[in-house]
Structure 1
């Protein structure tokens, strides 16, 4: 796999070099039609560059997953809830019991298997229970840890806001409201104390504490109807189905609300919670100087964070890649293919987030800052609910997944946005 990664990175480097040479063909006297043709060729090259980047990222994640798996001992008990525990006495495993219950219903479980699945019953929100007449007793259980981890990885693929490598993640066992104290003491300094002199105690140095709240909003995959014959087919990969359905549906949704949510009965998205860093002069264009100003609107202490980065969507990235500084150097720089160093913009990494706005009048298409100050609170586990009787006449079962989470930016000064001018 190492040799394949090396080959892909080298190919990426060649594409980036050729793309840069192609774009440099545009001169002041280049006819407009020819310039547009060159830009199209450049965009096509960079699209291939991005595709290779996606392959490289997936291969790296696979390498990491395999390394973690190889470190573990499959005979060792896992978790603190008995889910994967096996003492060699032949006791049924929750993962197997869960799959059997989903496929055939709880009525087909043995008494021992029923005892196992009852230990993993999950609380279903009252508003869902009220609409769920005919709910099979197999519904309303936590997805096994192995399934849950795969769903979580699938969700990360649909946007950076679910990724613990980008934002700060905390996991809780319950969904109780979580108060989070905040403080901004950046205007205060210490003092030089004279010998035998008194310490200043006039109230001007008092710390003002604030508080943010992290809730646990319930999000669902919406109801999915699945043919019973498909579930009962032993060749059918139910785990892959759950990963795809739950991961894609919840992943798109979670990334969207954690990006642009307004904080009213939903997470306060990072764009909404950020503060203005730079107001652009134009309504439909961005300049290199404006991006430089946006960087320096964020305090150097935040810029030094390992999680300091940009976010913008793919269309905006295509525009930003073509920007140069006053010396003709591109602001976008390719990473080091030998070490796997990420591509950078003005020396900082970036995440492509399709929930970010396009370049348009009054929009906020770019944010920059310390993403470790954005906290995503996740309530442990995914829950699946199955409804058999409701769709039995069609020989189908209904399946819906739930995840509880919230998000909040602890300090609006840590992340700033670029806002375009009004039309």
Structure 2
């Protein structure tokens, strides 16, 4: 089979995925119109103080679920369309062909002689016997791009690559003393700034995809694309949990793991929150007021790039809210690939955010690009293991990732509690 015959089906599949996006977006918008009509019926019954129609409530929940499902399907189509092509002439032109060929030989047969000739055996940071080989740079870049599309917090946070095990970032607790003086007045000596340091250690995340001998023997299989596709979801799911609620022990520290205080008592090192005033719920009337309070708890310099983060259940509850003029606070994306909007700010759906419950901080709002930092240590390593699960060949794939809050002023939380 020629290279041309291999590439052709991939091109057709991509074109087919592109054709699916427009009708999927149209279905999503149609579902949102049905949702608004049904919710208006429910609100009219509530305002008329009539008993709630169970059938209307059930229909509203079904439509809301369908709306969420269609949004995720649309996101999946957009991610598939945006995936970088790892095979073909474009890849070969920019790749280190020698490293790529050597890596493929190792993947298919375990022959690492060419890799040894190119580079010394890559040992893991904590344990030398774990070993492994670096994947080609292009494959590592493709993994990073796909993770940014699949991992919601990574997609909005700052991402920095480092070559060491820990990123140390200094920050000023107090600035130098300054003041106004006359043209000929004496200048008093200024005190120096007080500095402290944030540390972001990188922790190991791993996946272990399995391959059959027939898959490895098939020369038509693009091994770069295969291993990227196998590990992307596993890495993204683990990252998603850690970036939201990780405890920082052998994993990144999530922003919800930091100490939380009421906004009036906020100090550096803690995240401020606005309380709804109702235990485990939004206020029964003027619920939009607490959202407005959350928006304006954030300083003006952060608001221009701010956005909401919540899970789908919380989004479903907020989607029903209207402002005083009868307009829905939640608005669908204006076009395929854009985000839904809540009160004029983009909304990111992160399934690892907590549900609405007593004293839960189920909604976050802020400039995550300035507030949260993801640290990637360069290099994705693969260790071939043909022995542990015979007749399958396991590929122990690891990368090192860290993360944490870098600006405690840039993220605010909405707490579903009295205070």
User: What TM-score results when the alignment is normalised by the length of structure 2?
Assistant: 0.79
Supply the distance in 2 between the matched residues of 1:379 and 1:350 (Cα, whole angstroms): 29
Partner in structure 1 of residue 314 of structure 2: 316
Tell me by how many angstroms 1:217 deviates.
Answer: 1.2
Deviation string, structure 1 residues 169-209 (Cα, Å, up to 9, x no partner):
1112x2232210123669x9975554434556564xx5332
Q: 1:335 deviation in Å? A: 3.2
The match for 1:275 among 259, 264, 271 is 271
Identify the residue that residue 196 of structure 1 maps to in structure 2: 184
For residue 47 of structure 1, what is the aligned residue in structure 2? 68
- CA RMSD between the two structures: 3.4
Q: Residue 228 of structure 1 corresponds to which residue in structure 2?
A: 213
SS in 1 for 2:36: helix
Find out whether 1:182 has 2:171 as its counterpart.
yes
- Please point out which of 383, 390, 403 is paired with 2:381: 383
Query: What CA distance in whole angstroms lies between the structure 2 residues aligned with 1:418 and 1:228?
Result: 52
Q: CA contact under 8 A between 1:151 and 1:242: conserved in structure 2?
A: no
Distance 1:19 1:179 in 2: 48
Quote the residue 2:294 is aligned against: 294
User: What SS does the aligned partner of 1:259 have?
Assistant: helix
- 1:168–1:126 CA distance, 2 compared to 1 (3 A): closer
Note the 1:112-261 alignment, pairs <5 A. 113-116=114-117, 118-119=118-119, 121-127=121-127, 129=129, 140-163=132-155, 166-172=156-162, 174-183=163-172, 193-198=181-186, 203=191, 207-221=193-207, 223-261=208-246
1:419 aligns with 2:415: yes
For residues 355-394 of structure 1, what are the structure 2 equivalents within 5 Å? 355-373=352-370, 374-391=372-389, 394=390
Q: 1:416/1:189 Cα in 2 relative to 1: closer, same or farther (>3 Å)?
A: farther
In structure 2, the partner of 1:89 is none
Q: Please state whether the residue corresponding to 2:360 is helix, strand or coil.
A: coil
Question: Where do 1:335-354 residues align within 5 Å?
Answer: 335-337=333-335, 341-354=338-351
Distance across 1 between alignment mates of 2:167 and 2:135: 24
SS in 2 for 1:102: helix
2:263 maps to none
1:98 corresponds to 2:86: no
Aligned residues: 382
Take 1:292 and 1:210, find their aligned partners in 2: how far apart are those partners?
Answer: 33
Q: Residues 199 and 315 (structure 1 numbering): CA distance in 2 closer, same or farther, change over 3 Å? A: farther
Q: Distance in 2 between matches of 1:420 and 1:200?
A: 50
- Give the Cα–Cα distance (whole angstroms) in 1 for the partners of residues 231 and 128 of structure 2: 17
Q: State the Cα distance separating 1:326 from its structure 2 match.
A: 3.3
Deviation at residue 5 of structure 1 after TM alignment: 5.1
The answer on whether the counterparts of 1:155 and 1:251 sit within 8 Å (CA) in structure 2 is yes
SS at match of 2:34: helix
**C-alpha displacement of 1:4:** 6.4
Which consecutive residues of structure 2, in runs of 5 or more, have no partner in the other structure? 1-14, 259-269
Distance 2:185 2:59 in 1: 71
1:337 Cα deviation (Å)? 2.9
Q: Provide the C-alpha distance between the structure 1 equivalents of 2:394 and 2:90, rounded to a whole number of angstroms.
A: 37
CA positional deviation for 1:359: 1.2
CA contact (8 A) 2:165 2:377 kept: no
Q: Report if the CA contact (8 A) 2:384-2:394 is conserved.
A: yes
Contact 1:16–1:49 under 8 Å retained in 2 = no
Q: Give the 3 Å change call, closer, same or farther, for CA 200–22 of structure 1 in structure 2.
A: farther
TM-score between both structures, scaled by the size of structure 1 = 0.78
